[in-house]
Structure 1
Amino acid sequence: MHFSTPRNIMFGRGSVKNIERYLGEKCVIVTGKHTWENVKDLIPIDAPVLFVTRHKWKEPSQKDAEVLAENIREHSPDTIIAVGGGSVIDTAKVAWIIYENPEISWNVLYSYNIPELRKKARFIAIETTSGTGSGVSAAAIILDEEGKKRGVVSGELIPDLAIYDANFVEGMPRDVALYSGMDALSQAIEAYISTVDNIIGDTLALKAIELIYKNLPKALEKEDRAIENVHHGDMLAGMGFANSRLCLGHAAAHSLGGKYKIEHGKIVAIVLPYIIRANEKHTPKVKEVAKLLGMKDLARAIWKLNEELGIPHAVDIKDEDIEMLGEEIANDRLMKYNPRKMSKEDVIKMLRLLREGVLDEI
């Protein structure tokens, strides 16, 4: 068994002030325009700022990464600092690969066989949301030419330094804080119940579940300590799923979110009670999570949490899409880590309940 994590992690309010000791001679900052306006006064360095642009969709695409790689190449940096949420950090990770390997094809990028990085630059990630875990993970999600979500995965993508400074997330709008937090909760639950028994990853995932579930409602009310707890939960969840893997929740979210252009954090939150219900009889870990949180029915508790936070219970899935989505999800790479071996018909049953907004036995 193996556990991968950034060589260096700094966390706690004000921790970004120590970033200078990890910088090279020539840095660039990659971020989003709106994000930069909110956090630029927190960054204690002077470096060129490159903005991630969206050329086709709201989420990062191949074109976005290619353009960013060209912009990075113009500066020839030895340190890339990505400041943002998952979309910014994921785009920066893929652009970093292209910067170091200009001739690389998208088939290779999606092959889980990324060439060795760091021949030109190191990578630092500063998360400005509390939900993707991109700052500590070995993955990046990108939209292909057809708008389908694809994973670029390699241990090479784990940042050299990750910074989780809660001062960077205080200004999040409520919907961003809500859906990024629920994404982190889903990542932690999926990592813990997956078939990969990684004791370190599982331990971190379990603590992340506790921190996020107990603190997210208070964090949405701007309680300082709760905001920091959720941000640290995101950090732990990222390390958890980077090693223990995700399963049905993100397999379903990638297909549904890509098909209907639903924000990732939102679709993950909607499907979370259903994927727990689908797996609860196939692993004792669901009951272990419920016991930790002091409840008997974890799926129903998440359902009620969604209701209290204003998250929908259903997705408007079209009749003509059911078969295709069922097959796509059942054959997703992440399903090999799901506790329950689900057929296309099993997934379709879950999708029909999801469409009706009924949390029944799956």
Structure 2
Amino acid sequence: MAVSYHPTAVHMGEDAMDTLTQFSGQRVLIITDAFLATTDLVANAKARLGQHVHIFDGVIPDPTTETVAEIVRMSNQVRPEVVIAIGGGSPIDAAKGGLLAINHNGHSPTFIVIPTTCGSGSEVTPFTIITDQNGTKNALVTDDVLPEIAILTPEAVATLPAHIAAETGMDALTHCFEAYTSTDAQIFSDMWAMHAIELLFTHLVPSYQGNQESREIQLYASTMAGFAFSEAGLGIVHSMAHATGARLHLVHGRINSVLLPRVLAFNAGLPNPSTPEELRVVQRLAAVADHIGIAKQTPVESANAVINRIVEIRQTLGIADTLTGLGASEAPSPALFDDLASHAIVDPCTTTNPKPVTQADLSGIIRDAW
């Protein structure tokens, strides 16, 4: 049985920040990073919330269990009625980790997210990624971290640097394709994923180039992608990206950009698909090609056309096509490939990959991507 469940209320548009006025006077904890804490966006949020606003600005990229512990310590002092995460994936993940601990302590504040990047989709998902003391990224999945409200305001992404628009947009595109080909894909997740693919194929490059209308649409497409993978799950692009990012200290969206074309080709069994799982992926990619107007004479040719379009977008965005080009911090070796694969094979995202994989399969993809 499939379930379509979206409890997050999405408030969007130029006046979306006015949603915060209903919480004016309540005890509020804003969770963000040191830079965003100094911006007009946070100041505008505070202006709508009244006098009882406290700010935790200690979030770092790839938030750790220690960051979560610091948030819990501050929450125990503030006892917030409302928790607001402002930022990209890292502040949202950190807030979710803190909120999970807070809720288990018997305190359940209203949870609001204001995303400032156009990629993670975390404002509408039950997922969070927390790095432990061993440097391992742990994917946690629970409805306890679903936000009650997501505020999508163009103000939050208007000055997003081009390189961040690029890498977060490619993360969103990866969410779409992994959700659309997932073993748990269904009619509602397909709807979100397909429309988001169409929007990102049209607007990601203009957004990267600074077009503000496209930047806003990229934000909305990212949220649609979040809805899609909340229902359908992801796949081995994210499994390997989690392992590779933690070990090699590379940007998540850029790793996805390198891996996505390779994984789609692998899952589709290209150039000669043979298994039912591979043929299903080919048909799904061919459906994408048909939807966006690049269909070819055969399903395999159409699947290749979609993969080639992804590569073209990645190149236009200035993202390298190998992990070495991204600046991998270690020299390649069979032992390294196997270690990364051993972490990826047990990642929760692997369970919904469209075809079964072995650790050797993952090691080979990582080697090819180096």
Give TM-score, length-normalised by structure 2: 0.86
**Displacement after TM superposition at 1:42 (Å):** 3.2
| Contact map agreement 1:142 1:149 (CA 8 A) in 2 | yes
SS in 2 for 1:196: coil
| Contact map agreement 1:132 1:183 (CA 8 A) in 2 | yes
The equivalent residue for 1:105 is none
The equivalent residue for 2:134 is 146
The equivalent residue for 2:76 is 73
**Displacement after TM superposition at 1:129 (Å):** 0.8
The equivalent residue for 1:285 is 284
Q: Partners in 2 of 1:150 and 1:49 — Cα distance?
A: 28
| Contact map agreement 1:50 1:71 (CA 8 A) in 2 | no
The equivalent residue for 2:7 is 6
Superposition misfits of 4+ residues, deviation over 6 angstroms = none
C-alpha distance after superposition, 1:298-354 (max 9, x if no partner): 222211211121111111362130122233323332222111212222222222221
**Displacement after TM superposition at 1:24 (Å):** 7.6
**Displacement after TM superposition at 1:75 (Å):** 0.7
The equivalent residue for 1:136 is 124
SS in 2 for 1:33: coil
The equivalent residue for 2:64 is 61
Q: Is 43-52 or 241-250 further displaced after alignment?
A: 43-52
Q: Which amino acid aligns with 2:244?
A: L
**Displacement after TM superposition at 1:203 (Å):** 0.7
User: Aligned in 2, Cα 1:24/1:277: closer, same or farther, shift over 3 Å?
Assistant: farther
User: Aligned in 2, Cα 1:77/1:247: closer, same or farther, shift over 3 Å?
Assistant: same
SS in 2 for 1:77: coil
The equivalent residue for 1:196 is 184
Runs (5+) with no aligned partner, structure 2? 270-277, 295-301, 325-330
The equivalent residue for 2:332 is 318
Q: Is 340-349 or 85-94 further displaced after alignment?
A: 340-349
The equivalent residue for 2:246 is 258
Q: Partners in 1 of 2:19 and 2:132 — Cα distance?
A: 37
Runs (5+) with no aligned partner, structure 1? 103-116, 356-362
Q: Partners in 2 of 1:95 and 1:331 — Cα distance?
A: 24
The equivalent residue for 1:170 is 158
CA RMSD of aligned residues (A): 1.8
The equivalent residue for 2:312 is 304
Q: Which amino acid aligns with 1:332?
A: D
The equivalent residue for 2:53 is 48
Q: Partners in 1 of 2:184 and 2:164 — Cα distance?
A: 30
Pair 1:93-2:85 in alignment: no
Q: Partners in 1 of 2:80 and 2:363 — Cα distance?
A: 48
Q: Partners in 2 of 1:9 and 1:125 — Cα distance?
A: 10
Within 5 Å, give how 1:224-235 maps onto structure 2: 224-235=212-223
The equivalent residue for 1:350 is 365
| Contact map agreement 2:125 2:146 (CA 8 A) in 1 | yes
The equivalent residue for 1:358 is none
User: Aligned in 2, Cα 1:61/1:41: closer, same or farther, shift over 3 Å?
Assistant: same
Give TM-score, length-normalised by structure 1: 0.88
Q: Percent identity?
A: 25
SS in 1 for 2:35: helix
Pair 1:221-2:236 in alignment: no
User: Aligned in 2, Cα 1:276/1:234: closer, same or farther, shift over 3 Å?
Assistant: same
**Displacement after TM superposition at 1:22 (Å):** 5.6
